[in-house]
Structures are given as structure tokens and as C-alpha cells.
Amino acid sequence: MAKKQIGRREFIISGSVAAGVLAVAGVGVKYLDISHSGEQLRQDFLRPPGAIGEVEFMYGCIKCGLCVQICPVQAIKLAGAHEGLSYGTPYIDVREQPCDFSCDALQCVETCPTAVLNFEQFKDAGALAVEKASQEPGVDLSKVNPFEVQKVAMKEAVLMGKAHINKNTCLAHQRKGFKGISRGTDFEGIYRAPDSKFAYATPLKDKEFDREICNLCVTECPIGESAIVFVPGRGSGKLHPRVLEGCTGCGVCVMVCPTEKPSIVVEPIKS
């Protein structure tokens, strides 16, 4: 009996030390939580497509990295310890490697087991688009490829952020052209350009541009003219890029932008 009591005493002592340590950890986490909540979301820390709100994301994401593994362009990375509580959660740094939709099916979203990258919205958008396409008057149903329609609709339903143009540094705004390789010969980023003859992504450094007025962000956009257009300005009549409602925030424009600091940035959507 005496031995049992010693055991119990030991349990109470070490158990309360353990509980104390956990309580301190809890206070620390809460403190980090509060001190980081006012922070701006950054374009080098975009959440992958279909990400739910940040609060749910933080407990929903189990940090398995399946989205990292499936991404064909390796745009998704796992955050390090310097991101604090976000350690192990997936992010995209669009200046280094954006999401270029070359997987065609939002595979990172489909693979996520906890649905913090939520596929439901894309499934609905795809189904709706297919239904719409088949109901259009005078359409030859045999010529409509439902997979193509679905693919495009799903891609357009992505909303990671919105691109913004910095007029002070943008080459087009200064009536400058661009000739050469946009990010240098040792830049590692890859993407599938709209005019590419390949179905997969190719290195940006392999492509040489020659533009009288720089419009790389417009021509290389994987979404197309619903997202960004090259139009004359209202006052000056100068041609320059303008971001439209359809922008998904994928960040290809940020990667291809040839200025030293990108003249186009993606502002994450706060949800």
C-alpha cells in the first residue's frame, strides 16, 4: 500500500508539471495567435486553390503534404518553423513558382483529405458549366466536350487573390518594351504558356520575348481575357494592362514580370 501511495504522489507531482507545461504552451499559442491576427496576408504566402478561411484552415490542415506531392509544377511548399503556428501548412510563393493550372484538374484540391482545399465549389462550378453549355440554343451536343468545359469552369472558379498593377514601375505604363528572357537564365520557375505546344509546363528561361510595349502579364495569363486585358488608358490612350473580375490570383503574371521588383502583385483574398 505504501508503494502505491508513493506512485500516486509521483503521478500527482509529474502530472501537474505536465499540465502546467501544457497550460503555458496554450497561453503561448493564444499570444502568437493574437499577435499575428492583425498581419497582412502576403503574396509570397498564398494558400493553394480552394483554401477555406484561415481560421478553419489552421485546424483543418493536418500538414500531410499530399498537395505538395501532387502538384506537377511544385508550386506548393510547406511552411517552415519561422512561420510560427503555420508550420507545416501549404503555401505558394507566386514570384518563385506560381500555380499555372497545367494539372488541368485542380489536383491539389482533389487530393486534400480534410477538405481545407475544398473541392465542392469546383465540382458545382464544373457541373453548372456543363449543364449551361448543353442547354445553349443551336449547340451541337456532339461537338461539346464536357471535360473541356468542366476544366475551364473549374479553373475560372479559383480565387486565391487579385492581381494589382504598380503603375510607377510597370514597363507598359512607361511605354517601354521588353526583349529577352524575362527573369534571367538561371531562374527555375516553370509554367504552361497559352501559346505553348506542350501539354505540360516548360521553363520560363527557355522562352524569349520581343515586345514593342511590354505585355507579358497579359499574353502569358492562363485564364485569358476575362482576367487581364491590354487596353488604352482612359486619359492618355496609352496601351497598358488592366486586371478584370476574372482574375484568379494564380500569379503567373507575377512570375513573368521582368522588372526587378514585380510590377504586378497578387493580393490574397481575406475570407
Partner 1 sequence: MAAFDIIRSGKHKTPLKPKPMADMPHTELGMDYKVWCDSHKGTHKWRNIRWSVLIFMNLLFVLSFVFDLAILEGSLSGSRLIGFYLMDPFNALQELAISSTTGYIVHLTMNFWIGLFTILIFWFLLGGRSYCSWMCPYHFLAEMGERLHNYLVKTKKIKEHAFHTGIRFVFWFGFIILALATQQLVFENLNVVGIVSRAMIYGPGLLLFWVFGILLFEIVYSKRFWCRYVCPIGTTWSLVGKLSPLTIKFDLDKCGYCRDCQTVCLVPHELWFVQRGKATQETHYTGSDCTNCGLCIDTCAGNALSYTLKGWGTVL
Which positions touch partner 1 (CB under 8 A)? 7, 10-11, 14-15, 18-19, 22, 25-26, 29-30, 33, 52, 55-56, 58-66, 68-70, 77-78, 80-82, 85, 87-88, 111-115, 118-120
Could you tell me where the DSSP H helices lie in the chain? 2-37, 54-60, 66-70, 107-111, 120-135, 146-156, 216-219, 252-256
Of 16 and 134, nearer to partner 1 (C-beta) is 16
CA atoms within 13 A on the CB side of 54: 19
Collect all residues with Cβ–Cβ distance below 8 Å to 125 and sequence separation of at least 6: 153, 154, 156, 157
Of 72 and 246, nearer to partner 1 (C-beta) is 72
Cβ 97 to partner 1, closest distance in Å? 15
Of 18 and 231, nearer to partner 1 (C-beta) is 18
Closest C-alpha among 181, 177, 166 to residue 256: 181
- CA torsion 43-48-54-57 (nearest 10°) is -150
Cβ 19 to partner 1, closest distance in Å? 6
Q: Position of cell 494589382?
A: 164
Q: At what angle do helices 146-156 and 120-135 cross, to 10 degrees?
A: 130
Distance, CA of 8 to CA of 85 (rounded, Å): 36
Of 77 and 183, nearer to partner 1 (C-beta) is 77
Of 115 and 128, nearer to partner 1 (C-beta) is 115
Of 64 and 144, nearer to partner 1 (C-beta) is 64
Of 21 and 128, nearer to partner 1 (C-beta) is 21
Residue type, 63: K
Cβ 113 to partner 1, closest distance in Å? 4
Instruction: State how beta strands 90-92 and 228-232 pair.
Output: unpaired
Give the CA angle between residues 246, 235, 256 to the nearest 5°.
45
Rg (CA), the chain: 24
Cβ 131 to partner 1, closest distance in Å? 24
Of 82 and 143, nearer to partner 1 (C-beta) is 82
Cβ 15 to partner 1, closest distance in Å? 5
Cβ 77 to partner 1, closest distance in Å? 8
Distance, CA of 257 to CA of 253 (rounded, Å): 6
Cβ 156 to partner 1, closest distance in Å? 22
Closest C-alpha among 140, 146, 158 to residue 222: 158
Cβ 66 to partner 1, closest distance in Å? 5
